[in-house]
Structure 1
Amino acid sequence: MAELKKEITLIGGIGQMSTTLLGTGLFMVPAIAASIAGEQMLWAWWILLLAICPIAITFALLGKRYPNAGGASYFVRHAFGPRLEKAIALLFISVIPVGVPAAIAIAGGFAQQFLPDFLATPIMAQLLVVLLLMIVNFSGSKSSSRLQTFIALGILALVGSFFWMGDMNVQDTLPHSPPTERFLSIGQAIAVMFWCFVGIEAFAHMGEEFKNPERDYPIAIVIGCILAGAIYYLFSTVVLKHHAYGTQELNTTSVPYLADLLFGPKARWIISVTGFLACFATINLYTQSLARMLWSLAREYRPTSPAARVTVNGVPSVATLIVGVILAVSCVFGELSGIDIEVFLTLANGIFVVIYLFAMWSAVRLLTGWRKHLAIVSLCLCLLVLVSIGIAMLYAVTMLLLFWWLLPKPAPLRSTSLRTK
């Protein structure tokens, strides 16, 4: 049977995890959260980081025990059976036409800043991003993890330069008033900031490709989350001190605004390149994860099909091409239809929360002892996020119910009776 190559190291895993969480969020979320909660946003970060730890650790525990390219759906299979596994797998795949093209559109927007004029159109820039995704994915998970590690170091250097040039001090990094003053706004900010940690479920698909999954996979998740959270927090303090927030336009251009303020207009090209790489890192892992999800389903239920094969580099080639074609078509449709990117992102976010919810529910059934109690806490946290999203959950819930209804019920077990003569 075809198998994926075990090439991801601990350092490579940390790089993939942290860049996946940073992605597009670094360029929007801190400014949006600051517009909602002001300086109280720092309390929101502390609360969110404490809340995300149980979820990250629970994912790590599940991945350590069940390292598989199926990711969250594989956990669901062990907890609830193959029918719900398929439904969750299809739900994750359904993010291809809505979530990933939205991120590609953002990456394409950065790419347009440094592409030649004949390529600097939205559709051409996005299709070039898809082409680059295919090239990187076909190079294998080892090369991909190295690339994402370098991107993580670049993002860390960028935020560090902002912090240094912004004349920051210890007082700037601490909240100046108790959280009770604007508790409601802190809750609203957390609901927005949670999406900075959407990506753990995608990383769950990479567990099978770690050289030492039992040791390195859980460490990579936890350290990657802590590293991403620290970067978000430090950048948020710079946004607050220099008031790079407040209007819709400023919220989406806070990074270029700070670059002009602290470094001058000559630094814009650095921001464009870094922004593109940060977005590309997130999209790259999701492309890998979606391809491995398709490959995992083919390996399990259609082992002789072309989609179940891998290349000599351990790449599920047919599954990767399928994802690439869907991404290209979705990007063209999204651009021609004129649908707002925020609509796509909102629909995708609902899918991720439902997947988180079922992963944590699976952990409650699969884990024991203190791990089970931790999973219960994580499940409750996911339920709170589910409630906070509101009507945006309709797409995810509808898709899950549709998949559940279309999938055939498992055949009942036949009982046999022994006759004695």
Structure 2
Amino acid sequence: MSQLKQEITLTSGIAQLSTTLMGTGLFMIPAIAAGIAQTLSLWAWLFLFIAICPIALTFAQMGKHYPNAGGTAFFVRKAFNARMERAVAGLFISIIPVGVPAAVALAAGFLQQLLPAPLDTPVLCQVITVALLVLVNLAGAKSSGQLQTVIALAIFTLIVAFLWKGDIGAQDLTMPPLDSQSVWPIASALAVMFWCFVGIEAFAHMGEEFKNPQRDFPIAIIVGCFVAGVTYWFCSAVILKFGAYGTPKLDSTSIPWLSEKLFGEQISIIISLIGFSACFASINLYTQSLSRMIWSQAREYHPKSLMARLSVRGVPANATYLIGIVLVISCAFSQWSGLNLEFFLKLANSIFVLVYLLAMLSATKLLCGAQRVLAIIALVLCCGVFVCLGWSMLYALGVLSVMLLPWHKWRRHSQHAEPSNQES
């Protein structure tokens, strides 16, 4: 078997993207943004959604015209060359040791509240989370999509319950006035909030598995981004009304704090379960996309290797096992090193934004007409965000520079040199 199964429907595609975008972000970013910009964060969410639209629409068009498990790496190859493709593939894979463990740690934090002693240790909860990720991915894209549809419904139900129990009215949803003093707090909040729409590039790897990629993939991206944007906006309104922001503790526990305030302590287990499920859904898509990236590269350049094989369920099982092993090692290292979560998130964010930037650059060459104009606008926006990353963007540029070195040519040269040495 050398082709992935086309099992993803429009509904499951929307659920996968929306839960990925909301996953880890919903439980910390609205409170952090409110602490930075207060009520102006409502404007910041609106501006972010407007800014993300050109990027999302461009990814939608690229996935429609070029559905492939290689995602952005495949787009780059079509626009430039195979060397750039391998570099981008390596860039995306470099997220495994820095980005995914940070998200695993967040999910494990909720899992700790659900497990009894002695299973509730941070490292063991992270290992259990990784094991669950591997199992769900081995079940196939169809089963994974069904699970994430259930998780999406749970998240939406929670936010609706907040709006109802919190008695959110028109006065709570009124946008504050804007003036010249509003620019800086809104811009500062946007720099943090971009994390919430990281995930579109990972979804691009799933295009090959849609039943009807030309029709459903663009719709899934557009609707998924809209659903996530609306959910974030209403969640922020509730957080602002009840003042669930302003301290480091509230930044990471605003949702559990609101739940206890509105519904009582008896709902804490349900909130922990939803929190774990939401974070798990976000990591799940990345695990899927990374395994497909490894598999697509192996299929293209090493078709007889173990990584190029698919299971009977049409899943790149060996690539999934490899990611699981690397994640366990990375999680153990992060616990041992004592480096904080924010450090790993900044490194991962630089990789994500650079991947977005390269995808938009490819789109300016591959798309035509109005779609190309939209891609140019998206490219400019990505460049602006990348510059705002500060020191962390040097990490992404460093990784890309290493990946662009002619490793393939050097390896081929050494292979030719070995027989010559043996003859002499």
Map of 1:363-378 to 2, 5 A cutoff? 363-378=363-378
Alignment-derived partner of residue 163 in structure 1: 163
Q: Deviations over 1:258-287 (max 9, x none)?
A: 111111111111110010000000110000
Give the Å deviation of 1:38: 0.8
Render the CA deviation track for 1:348-381: whole Å, top value 9, x for unaligned: 0000000000000000010000000000000000
User: Which amino acid is 1:399 matched to?
Assistant: V
Once residues 205 and 174 of structure 1 are traced to their aligned partners in structure 2, the CA distance between those partners, rounded to angstroms, is 39
Asked if 1:276 corresponds to 2:276, the answer is yes
Of the structure 1 ranges 254-263 and 222-231, higher mean CA displacement relative to structure 2 is found in: 254-263
Amino acid at match of 2:361: W
Provide Cα deviations, 1:235-261, integer angstroms capped at 9, x if missing partner. Answer: 000011111011111111111111111
Residue 113 of structure 2 aligns to a residue whose secondary structure is coil
Q: Kindly provide the amino acid, as one letter, of the partner of residue 195 in structure 2.
A: W
Other-structure match for 1:209 = 209
The CA deviation at 1:334 is: 1.1
Query: Which position in structure 2 is the counterpart of 1:415?
Result: none
Distance 1:73 1:124 in 2: 34
Match of 2:291 in 1: 291
1:257 aligns with 2:257: yes
Name 2:419's counterpart in structure 1.
none
Which residue matches 1:414?
Answer: none
- The SS at the match of 1:118 is coil
Moved over 2 A (4+): 406-411
Distance 2:280 2:98 in 1: 16
Contact 1:22 1:278 in 2 (8 A): yes
1:171 Cα deviation (Å)? Answer: 2.1
CA contact (8 A) 1:83 1:409 kept: no
Query: In structure 2, how many angstroms separate the alpha carbons of the residues matched to 1:203 and 1:126?
Result: 24
- Say if 1:409 and 1:80 are closer, same or farther in 2 by CA, change over 3 A: farther
Which of 304-313 and 59-68 deviates more? Answer: 304-313
- CA distance in 1 between partners of 2:338 and 2:178 (Å): 43
- Specify the alignment match of 2:19 in structure 1: 19
- Could you give the per-residue CA deviations for residues 35-65 of structure 1, whole angstroms, max 9, x where no partner exists? 1111111111111111101100000000000
**What residue identity is the alignment partner of 1:241?**
K
Deviations 1:129-166 (A, max 9, x none): 01101110110000000000110110000111111111
Q: Tell me the residue number matched to 1:52.
A: 52
Q: Deviations over 1:205-256 (max 9, x none)?
A: 0000000000000100000000000000000000111110111111111111
Give 1:177 deviation, angstroms.
1.2
Q: Deviations over 1:172-214 (max 9, x none)?
A: 1121212543111101111111110000000000000000000
Q: What residue number does 1:241 align with? A: 241
What TM-score comes out, normalization by structure 2 length?
0.95
Map of 2:323 onto structure 1: 323
Measured in 2, the distance between the counterparts of 1:241 and 1:12 equals 33
Q: Does 1:73 align with 2:108?
A: no
Compute the displacement of 1:95 (Å).
0.4
SS in 1 for 2:23: helix
Aligned positions of 1:316-355 closer than 5 A: 316-355=316-355
Residue 301 (structure 1) aligned with residue 296 (structure 2): no
Letter in 2 for 1:114: L
Ranges in structure 1 where 5+ consecutive residues have no aligned partner: 412-421
In structure 1, distance between residues paired with 2:373 and 2:106: 39
- For the residues of structure 2 that align with 1:103 and 1:306, how far apart are their CA atoms? 28
Q: 1:388 deviation in Å?
A: 1.0
Q: Which amino acid aligns with 1:323?
A: I
Please state how far the C-alpha of 1:408 moved relative to its aligned partner.
3.7
1:129-144 matches, within 5 Å, as: 129-144=129-144
For 2:36 and 2:394, the matched residues in 1 are separated by 25
Whole-angstrom CA distance in 2 between matches of 1:196 and 1:208: 24
TM-score, normalization by structure 1: 0.96
Measured after TM superposition, the shift of residue 81 of structure 1 is: 0.6
Which residue does the alignment assign to 1:388?
388
Partner SS, residue 282 of structure 2? helix
Match for 2:317: what amino acid?
S
The answer to whether the Cα contact below 8 Å between 1:87 and 1:407 also exists between their aligned partners in 2 is no
Instruction: Give the secondary structure class of the aligned counterpart of 1:191.
Output: helix
Distance 2:124 2:63 in 1: 38
Give 1:406 deviation, angstroms: 4.5
For residue 80 of structure 1, report the CA deviation from its aligned partner: 1.1
Counterpart amino acid of residue 229 in structure 1: G
What is the rounded CA distance, in whole Å, between the counterparts of 2:225 and 2:409 in structure 1? Answer: 38
Instruction: Confirm or deny that 1:195 pairs with 2:195.
Output: yes
* Closer, same or farther: CA 177–136 of 1 in aligned 2, 3 Å: same
> Following the alignment from structure 1 to structure 2, what is the Cα–Cα distance between the partners of residues 131 and 395?
29
Aligned counterpart, 1:147: 147
List gaps (5 residues or longer) in structure 2.
413-424
Query: Which whole-Å deviations, capped at 9, do the CAs of 1:373-395 have from their partners, x for residues lacking one?
Result: 00000000001101111111111
* Counterpart residue identity of residue 62, structure 1: M
Aligned equivalent of 1:416 = none
- 1:21 Cα offset (Å): 0.2
- Cα drift, residue 407 of structure 1: 3.0
State which drifts further: 402-411 or 187-196: 402-411
Amino acid in structure 1 at the alignment position of 2:253? T
CA distance in 2, matches of 1:139, 1:333: 28
User: CA offset at residue 409 of structure 1?
Assistant: 5.4
Partner of 2:231 in structure 1?
Answer: 231
What is the CA–CA distance in structure 1 between the aligned matches of 2:336 and 2:181, rounded to whole Å?
A: 46
Aligned partner of 1:368: which letter? C
**1:106 maps to which residue?**
106
Percent identity (aligned) = 56
Aligned-partner SS, 1:241: helix
Structure 1 contact 202–289 (Cα < 8 Å) conserved: yes
Conserved 8 A contact 1:151-1:281: yes
- Residue 41 of structure 2 aligns with an amino acid whose one-letter code is M
